[in-house]
């Protein structure tokens, strides 16, 4: 049994390069991201008459509050329900398809509602966005169903094999 003495030092720490959890690509991304943010803020403030910084700030704060007080709790509730209701093999696919569906629906909402459409300019928003949204949603859920069928088939094959 090894005795512990007061003069014994703990093992040396790993070098800085070994202890860093983030590589150079991460730090390049951080630098590029902060550069883009700084450019956006500078662009917003450079011509306040055209960009209306107070209105932009109200939108940013409003969207952050809407996300934190409405969208995130709804997403957590839906995920909790799916986790309790869906079979284990389907949970990830169902949650993924729901997340993609939510993002696509949120993106398409102003197009489906035709916000900004101009009756005197038929070339502005010329397509039927509702039909496009329906098609994309169908593709998402058919893809999830096909992937689930593949998982089920693979599971059945694995159960059907006899150990050697």
Mean pLDDT, range 6-22, rounded to an integer: 61
**Where in the chain are the domains?**
14-51
State yes or no: pLDDT of 54 exceeds 90.
yes
- pLDDT value, residue 119: 84
Which long-range contacts does 151-159 make (Cβ < 8 Å, 24+ apart)? 151/89, 151/90, 151/93, 152/89, 155/89
- pLDDT value, residue 19: 57
State yes or no: pLDDT of 2 exceeds 60.
no
């Amino acid at each position: 049994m090894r005795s512990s003495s007061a003069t014994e030092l703990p093992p040396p720490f790993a070098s800085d390069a070994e202890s860093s959890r983030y590589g150079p690509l991460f730090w390049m991304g951080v630098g590029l991201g902060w550069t883009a943010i700084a450019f956006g803020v500078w662009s917003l403030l450079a011509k306040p008459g055209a960009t209306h910084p107070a209105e932009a700030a109200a939108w940013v704060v409003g969207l952050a509050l809407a996300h934190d007080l409405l969208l995130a709790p709804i997403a957590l509730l839906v995920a909790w329900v799916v986790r309790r209701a869906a079979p284990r093999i389907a949970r990830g696919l169902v949650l993924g398809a729901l997340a993609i569906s939510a993002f696509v629906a949120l993106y398409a909402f102003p197009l489906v509602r035709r916000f900004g459409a101009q009756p005197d300019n038929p070339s502005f928003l010329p397509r039927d966005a509702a039909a496009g949204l329906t098609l994309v949603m169908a593709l998402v859920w058919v893809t999830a169903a096909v992937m689930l069928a593949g998982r089920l088939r693979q599971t059945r094959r694995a159960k059907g094999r006899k150990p050697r």
